[in-house]
Amino acid sequence: MFIRRRAPLREKITLITGANGEVGHGLIQHLAAANDTSDVVVLDLRGLDESMRGKVNRVIVGDILDNELINLLLNEYEIETIVHLAALLSTHSEFNPETAHRVNVQGTINLLKLAIEQGKSRGSPVKFIFPSSIAVYGMPDAETKQSAGAVKEEQYLYPITMYGCNKLYCEHLGRYYAQYYQQLSATRTLGVDFRCLRFPGLISAQTMPTGGTSDFAPEMLHAAVQGKPYASFVSEDSQIPFMVMPDAIKSLLMLVDAPQSQLKHYVYNVTSFSLSARQIADRVQASFPSAQITFEPDLARQAIVESWPLDVDDAAARQEWGWSPEYDADRAFNEYLIPTITHLYR
Ligand code: SER
């Protein structure tokens, strides 16, 4: 007699890659505060800091380049959403561009393919949330940077860093996997529900980023609260857009929850405020009067910051899914950064 077996039900999860980075920490803390992490499985080369391990369903120590591991995930879980945070940031990437390409691009392809296979087996597309960056832009010169002001998603896409090239290409890959994947095969597969945010420089009161070029802002602040002198690697007038971590998490979760029918784009700028390194130093000094901040520009890193826009236009995110930041510069410093960081290092 032929007995038809029912496929065992797989546990439904949200997969967060690179969860031990600063966006991962911010996201897990936020979800844990809302009791919303029971379905969260994290994957990170370094595992997850001990203080956070108990907050999630499972921690997998592993590499997004490990295809066997990706296949295990495919078989073991029903993945509804992938938040793909794993990446090498811009400064790190310049020291080893080919490794950066493998992690940032091949790693993303592996996860997009996982999303496609999951979509097939569960019969509906997997949501794929991808943080991109202002590093995808490349302003040709200082005058253009000043006159362009807040740039739109499709303008000035000539990145000068490996990280920026990787992020820009992955934005295109996301669009491809969402809309055109295997477009010539006889049976078209379901695409992925690809949703991408372009973050400005992020500042968290709780964690330090590793290997970024917008890091002068968080570094200045974290040094001041610890009473350490800080020499900024960019000049006083270097200016780019920023956002504090609670707004980064807010935008990410708003994009996760946005109804598909409202989304007309795959890629959205989000931002909060734009300040120069001098203006950040002044705000830090106002709260920590003994802070010793000097400016000793590293010309190569400075050139990277100069290639990023003065500001970005996030009108599409505002119009299509109701984005607006909670923290302008005043609130960011007075109500989030200074009080939180002071408490943290007390
Ligand atoms: N914060 C990133 C970096 O500096 C830019 O998105 O690399």
Distance from the CA of 199 to the center of ligand 1, in angstroms?
8
Q: What value does the mean pLDDT take over residues 130-155?
A: 98
CATH label of the domain that carries residue 180: 3.40.50.720
- Does a structural domain hold residue 15? no
The answer to whether the CB of 104 is under 6 A from ligand 1 is no
Confidence of residue 314 (pLDDT cuts 50, 70, 90): very high
Alpha carbon 155 to chain centroid, angstroms: 20
From the CA of 134, give the closest atom in ligand 1: 6
The answer to whether the CB of 163 is under 6 A from ligand 1 is yes
**Rounded-to-integer distance, Cα 306 and Cα 146, Å:** 10
- The whole-number pLDDT of residue 345 equals 87
- Does a structural domain hold residue 339? no
pTM for the whole structure: 0.95
The answer to whether the CB of 128 is under 6 A from ligand 1 is no
The answer to whether the CB of 85 is under 6 A from ligand 1 is no
**DSSP bridge pairs for 50:** none
- The whole-number pLDDT of residue 7 equals 53
- The whole-number pLDDT of residue 8 equals 59
Instruction: List the domain range (segments joined by +) for residue 180.
Output: 63-202+245-271+311-326
From the CA of 133, give the closest atom in ligand 1: 6
The answer to whether the CB of 90 is under 6 A from ligand 1 is yes
Q: What is the DSSP string of 238-250?
A: -EEEEEEHHHHHH
- Does a structural domain hold residue 126? yes
The answer to whether the CB of 135 is under 6 A from ligand 1 is yes
- Does a structural domain hold residue 70? yes
Confidence of residue 88 (pLDDT cuts 50, 70, 90): very high
Total domains, the chain: 1
For the stretch 327-344, pLDDT in tens is 999 999 999 999 999 999
- Does a structural domain hold residue 106? yes
**Rounded-to-integer distance, Cα 83 and Cα 81, Å:** 7
C-alpha torsion 254→260→266→267, nearest 10: -20
For the stretch 175-197, pLDDT in tens is 999 999 999 998 878 899 999 99
Contact criterion met (CB below 8 Å) for 99 and 130: no
What distances in angstroms separate CA 210 from CA 23, 92, 215, 236, one per listed residue? Answer: 11, 8, 8, 22
Give nearest CA residue, ligand 1 atom 3.
Answer: 212
Q: What is the DSSP string of 113-161?
A: HHHHHHHHHHTSPPEEEEEEEGGG---SSHHHHHHH-EE-TTS-----S
Secondary structure of 60-72 as H, E, C letters: EECCCCCHHHHHH
**Rounded-to-integer distance, Cα 111 and Cα 17, Å:** 9
- Residues 6 or more apart whose Cβ sits within 8 Å of residue 238: 216, 276, 277, 297, 302, 305, 306
Give nearest CA residue, ligand 1 atom 6.
Answer: 133
248 vs 345, residue with greater confidence: 248
- Does a structural domain hold residue 20? no
For the stretch 281-291, pLDDT in tens is 999 999 999 99
- Does a structural domain hold residue 346? no
**Rounded-to-integer distance, Cα 85 and Cα 74, Å:** 18
Distance from the CA of 167 to the center of ligand 1, in angstroms?
11
For the stretch 189-240, pLDDT in tens is 889 999 999 999 999 999 988 899 999 999 999 999 999 999 999 999 999 9
**Rounded-to-integer distance, Cα 103 and Cα 109, Å:** 10
The answer to whether the CB of 134 is under 6 A from ligand 1 is yes
Q: What value does the mean pLDDT take over residues 89-93?
A: 97
- Does a structural domain hold residue 9? no
Distance from the CA of 200 to the center of ligand 1, in angstroms?
7
- Residues 6 or more apart whose Cβ sits within 8 Å of residue 259: none
Distance from the CA of 23 to the center of ligand 1, in angstroms?
12
**Ligand 1 pocket test, candidate residues 88, 90, 165, most atoms within 8 A of CB:** 90
- The whole-number pLDDT of residue 137 equals 98
